[in-house]
Amino acid sequence: RYISMFRPSVKREAQKNKAQCKTMGPAKVAVPSPKSFLQKHSKEPKLPPRKKEQDSKKLPALSVPQRTDHPVMGIQSKKNFINTNAVAAITGLPKKPQPIYVDRRQGDKHVLETSGPVPKYIKKKDYGVTPKYVTRRSEEMKRAQKEYEAGILEHLKKRAMKRLSDEERSSLLQGLKKNWEEVYREFQGLSVEIDTISKKMYKEKLESQMRQLEHDIQVIEKHKVIYIANE
């Protein structure tokens, strides 16, 4: 039969690695040293070292005494605080109570001066004085009103009414009567039978002119004094 030439080497490799495949008991691993234990904050990221502040950016020194400071000993004052306080209490004015008001039964207090019932506004220096802008606005309105009235008067003077004299009135009245007679003569000359539209419209036109002239004549005869506007 066939025998491989690598048989002895395979047996040696199998015999050498056979002890590593045994599983009797835990595997032999390196035990950590008890000195390398996990410490507190050891896994937190470490910040870079803080730089020293410059002299210009330093904060001003506080007035609070330091721990190393010691109070000055041995200084005494000859002032009699008892007598001083007694004299100040006797000669001083009594403190006036602050005016307040209570809005509830439970006794909720509020300052009366800033609440609104006290009319502090009447004590102002400018109380009752008309503001400057109101005075200025009223003066501007008065000036504009005067200019408007002056313009109206000027316009009325230009278009003033003129009175007709007796001669002009009589001549105007005679002219109106003459015009009425001419229109009436034309009206009398119309044919008796109005059978066309043009004749009918012409007749209506003459009648309208006669009515208008009669109205003007009545107005002039009724009023002795007549004014006309200057154009």
Count of H-run helices and E-run strands, the chain: 5, 4
Q: How far apart are CA 160 and CA 227, in angstroms?
A: 10
**φ, ψ of residue 54 in degrees (nearest 5):** -75, 165
pLDDT in tens, 18-60: 665 566 666 677 888 888 888 898 889 888 888 776 555 666 6
Section 61-74 average pLDDT: 80
Q: How far apart are CA 157 and CA 150, in angstroms?
A: 11
* Torsion of the alpha carbons at 7, 9, 13 and 18, rounded to the nearest 10: 40
Specify the pTM. Answer: 0.33
Please report which helix (H) or strand (E) contains residue 7, including its range: helix 7-17
Domains of the chain by residue range: 162-228
Q: Is the dihedral of CA 80, 82, 85, 87 positive or negative?
A: negative
Q: How far apart are CA 218 and CA 145, in angstroms?
A: 42
pLDDT in tens, 141-185: 999 999 998 888 887 777 777 778 888 888 989 999 999 999 999
What is the percent of the chain where pLDDT is above 90?
Answer: 19
Q: What is the pLDDT of residue 211?
A: 92
Q: Is the dihedral of CA 15, 18, 19, 24 positive or negative?
A: negative
